[in-house]
């Protein structure tokens, strides 16, 4: 008999507000999500891509998003990090920490299914706003390219007329959702890689949440010092590339998701609960 | 079916370079209640976590119900119940919701046993876990382990945080479980009166090594504290290599040792021109004598 672990009760349990340590923390998390959510910068910037790509606000949005996602993923998927939280009945440590996992790890539940439920819960909490924005983007105003109307834009958006991209918001919100999903997968893989090494009460434990930010910060500096001289705009180029090859990019992301998920589940199922 | 429900062979585990469990050879007979004793830091919890599949040994083999914990399938988990030393339950769930959630993983969940234990421990199922006292939360953890109808039940300090009455009721539950054929219980405890009351086999671990593993009756019958008193020449040269404890003054030797039969004791005494006196030991005394660091 091949026993199956029921997925939905686990997902329901992981989706409950309690997994984030109470209503206040959950509301804060969701507020952060909406703040950095896809359409927001575009609304603030009056739907002009030039301002978005050249004002530097994109870097701020990326920083905030990475900070938020890293905290989110590390607390939920790296139990040693959850143990950084101060103990208490309302602390996320209770459910996410190693002690909390001890309960589910000693029940007749497949750890891989449990991890799937937990990562699905994190994904839904963190990225649902971005996908809602994609869904709502056909209703958004046209996007203006501003002074960016070069041949690459014409290639990516054949319907573009005098710098106005009809349904450009779809491409923009899709690109943000795609990038955020890729970031989520990267962080999940990174978390699965180091979860067994992140021990509670260890001076190095706090390094995990900080590391992607440090890498990002160093990358920005390197970008400005070296690559910017070559007049390459990573944000704009990746946006245009996504707009030109949306189908391929989505398929590649789905393939990546499958690989990362299987690999992460295997790693997580071997996690030690000290 | 194998005769041992739990078996370890030369199991070693270290943390940060310090060996916590060393060459552990533990055998728990199917159908027995095994009391696992040791001082704080002796390696009890580490051993139990390895048995429960929460951590892995650095070397050696472990089998619980004939399966290595690293290979446990969901079906294997149906048959192994576990309550940890500090069981953390979701504090936001009501007891009834937690039972329902946990029952979902077990096709043979015993709802009648749940009901019976809830009544026995007077637990209100509508209460949230965070509103329960530590002792009551612990009783809920037992309930969840018992209601899955395990073949092997592993309990780490089960009586911690329970008052005397609740402890007694818990022990009755364990005995009830044992009355069903083929159940095996391994539990660690500091409360030796509980162990004495329930266990029929005892394992004593000290500094990560298993010092004793045998039936409680045999342990109590054969481990003795003996005072040897020299008639004339003193006790110089008097040595008992296998003694658990050994100390001597000019005229007297005090040793805790295994005495299978008094003939050997008599022979030992006469060979050193001593008379001897056996000092009775209860389980607590035996435990202390075995785990205590020898005095200089």
A–B: how many Cβ contacts below 8 A? 75
- Angle at the Cα of B195 from the Cα atoms of B192 and B201, rounded to 5 degrees: 125
Taking contacts as CB-CB distances below 8 angstroms, the residues of chain B near A18 are 90-93
In chain A, residues with a C-beta closer than 8 Å to the C-beta of B87 are 102-103
CA atoms within 13 Å, Cβ hemisphere of A247: 0
Helical H segments across A97-233, by residue range = 98-105, 111-136, 151-156, 168-194, 207-225
Nearest to B84 among A89, A102, A109 (CB): A102
A108/B78 Cβ within 8 A:
yes
Yes or no, beta carbons of B88 and A16 under 8 Å apart: no
* Interface contact B53-A106, CB threshold 8 A: yes
Contact A107 B75 (CB under 8 A): no
Q: Which of residues 117-136 of B touch A (CB under 8 A)?
A: 130
What residues in B contact A13, CB-CB < 8 Å? 90, 101
φ and ψ at B281, to 5 degrees? -125, 135
- Tell me how far apart the alpha carbons of residues B251 and B270 are, in angstroms, rounded to a whole number: 15
Q: Could you tell me which chain B residue has the CA closest to the CA of A101?
A: B88
Task: Report the CATH architecture of B4-207.
Answer: 3-Layer(aba) Sandwich (3.40)
Query: So where are chain B's domains?
Result: 4-207, 220-291
For the four alpha carbons of B46, B50, B55 and B56, in that order, the dihedral sign comes to positive
Q: Report chain A's mean pLDDT, rounded to a whole number.
A: 79
Contact (CB<8Å) B74/A5: yes
Is the pTM higher than 0.90? no
Say whether pLDDT at B237 is over 70.
Answer: yes
Do the chains contact at B74 and A110, CB–CB below 8 Å? Answer: yes
Which candidate from A5, A13, A273 shows the least CB-CB separation from B54? A273
Confidence of residue A117 (pLDDT cuts 50, 70, 90): very high
User: Counting beta carbons within 10 angstroms of the beta carbon of residue B22, is it exposed (0 to 12), middle (13 to 18) or buried (19 or more)?
Assistant: middle
Q: How far is the C-alpha of A201 from the C-alpha of A243, rounded, in Å?
A: 46
Chain A residues near residue B107 by CB distance under 8 angstroms: 3
Contact with chain A for residue B161, Cβ under 8 A:
no
Contacts of B27 (CB under 8 A, 6+ apart): B4, B6, B7, B8, B213
DSSP label at residue A138: G
Residue B105 touches partner A, C-beta closer than 8 Å: yes
What radius of gyration, in Å, describes the C-alpha atoms of chain B?
Answer: 22
For residue B49, list chain A residues with Cβ-Cβ distance below 8 A: 273-274
- Which one has a higher pLDDT value, A57 or B59? B59
**Hey, how many other C-beta atoms are within 10 angstroms of the C-beta on B2?**
9
Under 8 Å between Cβ of A238 and A175:
yes
- Residue A212 CA from chain centroid, whole number: 12
Give the distance, in angstroms, between the CA of residue A67 and the centroid of all CA atoms in the same chain: 10
Contact between B185 and B34 (Cβ < 8 Å): yes
B72 touches chain A (CB under 8 A): no
> What is the band of A1 on the pLDDT scale with cuts at 50, 70, 90?
very low
Tokens 């739907």 belong to residue: A47
Coil, strand or helix at A107: coil
State yes or no: pLDDT of A264 exceeds 80: yes
Whether B17 contacts chain A with CB within 8 A: no
**Do the beta carbons of residue B206 and residue B41 sit within 8 Å?**
no
Q: Which two tokens stand for residue B272?
A: 């050193």
B62 and A CB contact within 8 Å: no
Find the CB nearest B104 among A9, A95, A97: A9
Would the pLDDT of A2 be above 60?
A: no
The Cα–Cα gap between A37 and B40 comes to: 51
pLDDT confidence of residue B100: 94
Backbone angles phi, psi at B142, to 5 degrees: -60, -45
Residue-level pLDDT at A39: 53
CB contact under 8 A, A3 and B87: no
Contact: B101, A13; criterion CB under 8 Å: yes
Distance from CA of B101 to the nearest CA of A (A): 7
Task: Name the more confident of B144 and A122.
Answer: B144
Q: Residue B28: is its pLDDT beyond 90?
A: yes
Q: Is the CB of B165 inside 8 Å of chain A's CB atoms?
A: no
- CA dist B255 and B240 (Å) reads 8
Using the beta-carbon criterion (under 8 Å), do A106 and B75 form an inter-chain contact? no
> pLDDT for B195-223, tens place per residue?
888 888 999 999 899 998 999 889 888 88
Least confident residue range of A63-72, A190-199, B134-143, B201-210: A63-72
CA of B88 to nearest chain A CA: how many angstroms apart? 5
Using a CB–CB cutoff of 8 Å, tell me whether B111 touches chain A: no
Q: Is B93 on the interface with A (CB under 8 A)?
A: yes
Strands B223-230 and B274-279, sheet pairing: antiparallel
Mean pLDDT score, A133-161: 78
The shortest C-alpha distance from B195 to chain A (Å) reads 24
* B267: confidence class by pLDDT, cuts 50, 70, 90: confident
pLDDT 10s digits, B87-129: 888 888 899 999 999 999 999 999 998 998 899 888 999 999 8
The pLDDT value recorded for residue A169 is 82
Q: Which residues of B171-183 are buried (b: 16+ CB within 10 A; e: fewer)?
A: bebbeebbeeeeb
Provide residues of A within 8 Å CB-CB of chain B.
1, 3-6, 9, 13, 16-18, 89-90, 94-95, 97, 99-100, 102-103, 105-110, 270, 272-274
State how far residue A252 is from chain B, nearest Cα, in angstroms. 33
Give B77's contacts in chain A (Cβ within 8 Å): 106-109
Fold of B220-291: Alpha-Beta Plaits (3.30.70)
Segment A213-251, tens digit of pLDDT = 788 778 777 776 666 565 556 778 888 899 999 999 999
pLDDT band for position A128 (cuts 50, 70, 90): confident
Q: Which residue of B has its CA nearest to A104?
A: B102
Q: How many CB atoms lie within 10 A of CB B221?
A: 12
Q: pLDDT by residue (tens digit) across A13-54? A: 887 655 555 566 666 766 666 666 555 655 655 666 776 776
Q: Which residue of A has its CA nearest to B56?
A: A272
pLDDT in tens, B149-166: 899 999 998 877 778 887
B154: which strand partners?
B82, B186
CA A38 to chain centre: 12
Nearest chain B residue to A110 by CA distance is B74
């Amino acid at each position: 008999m091949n026993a199956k672990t029921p997925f939905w009760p686990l997902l329901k349990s992981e989706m409950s507000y309690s997994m984030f340590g109470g209503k206040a923390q959950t509301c804060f998390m969701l507020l952060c999500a909406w703040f950095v959510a896809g359409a927001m910068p575009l609304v603030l910037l009056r739907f002009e891509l030039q301002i978005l790509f050249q004002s530097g606000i994109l870097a701020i949005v990326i920083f905030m998003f990475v900070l938020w996602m890293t905290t989110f993923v590390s607390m939920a998927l790296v139990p040693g990090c959850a143990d950084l939280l101060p103990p208490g009945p309302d602390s996320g440590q209770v459910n996410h920490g190693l002690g909390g996992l001890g309960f589910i790890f000693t029940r007749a539940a497949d750890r891989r299914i449990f991890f799937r439920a937990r990562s699905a819960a994190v994904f839904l909490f963190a990225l649902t706003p971005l996908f809602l924005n994609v869904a709502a983007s056909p209703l958004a105003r046209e996007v203006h390219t501003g002074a960016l109307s070069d041949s690459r834009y014409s290639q990516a958006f054949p319907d573009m007329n005098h710098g106005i991209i009809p349904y450009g918001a779809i491409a923009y919100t899709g690109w943000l959702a795609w990038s955020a999903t890729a970031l989520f997968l990267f962080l999940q893989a990174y978390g699965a890689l180091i979860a067994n090494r992140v021990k509670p009460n260890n001076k190095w434990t706090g390094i995990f949440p900080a590391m992607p930010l440090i890498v990002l910060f160093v990358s920005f500096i390197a970008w400005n010092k070296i690559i910017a001289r070559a007049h390459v705009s990573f944000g704009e180029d990746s946006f245009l590339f996504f707009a030109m090859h949306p189908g391929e990019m989505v398929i590649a992301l789905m393939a990546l998701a499958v690989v990362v998920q299987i690999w992460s589940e295997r790693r997580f199922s071997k996690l030690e609960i000290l | 079916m194998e005769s041992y429900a739990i078996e370890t062979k030369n199991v070693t585990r270290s943390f940060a370079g310090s060996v916590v469990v060393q060459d552990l050879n533990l055998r728990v007979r199917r159908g027995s209640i095994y009391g696992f004793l040791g001082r704080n830091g002796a390696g009890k919890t580490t051993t139990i976590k390895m048995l429960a599949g929460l951590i892995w040994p650095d070397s050696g083999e472990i089998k619980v119900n004939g399966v290595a914990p690293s290979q446990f399938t969901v079906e294997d988990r149906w048959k192994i119940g576990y309550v940890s030393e500090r069981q953390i339950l979701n504090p936001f769930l009501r007891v009834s919701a937690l039972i329902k959630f946990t029952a979902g993983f077990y096709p043979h969940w015993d709802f009648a046993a749940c009901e019976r234990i809830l009544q026995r421990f007077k637990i209100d199922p509508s209460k949230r876990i965070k509103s329960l006292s530590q002792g009551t939360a612990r009783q809920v953890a037992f309930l969840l382990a018992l209601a899955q109808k395990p073949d092997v039940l592993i309990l780490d300090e089960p009586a911690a945080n329970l008052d005397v009455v609740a402890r007694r009721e818990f022990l009755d539950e364990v005995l009830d479980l044992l009355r069903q054929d083929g159940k095996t219980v391994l539990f660690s405890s500091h409360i030796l009166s509980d162990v004495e009351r329930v266990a029929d086999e005892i394992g004593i671990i000290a500094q990560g090594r298993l010092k004793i593993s045998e039936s409680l009756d045999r342990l109590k019958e054969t481990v003795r504290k003996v005072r040897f008193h020299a008639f004339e020449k003193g006790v110089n040269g008097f040595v008992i290599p296998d003694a658990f404890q050994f100390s001597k003054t000019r005229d007297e030797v005090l040793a805790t040792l295994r005495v299978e039969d008094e003939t050997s004791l008599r022979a030992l005494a006469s060979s050193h021109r001593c008379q001897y006196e056996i000092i009775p030991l209860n389980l607590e005394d035996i435990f202390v004598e075995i785990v205590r660091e020898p005095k200089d």
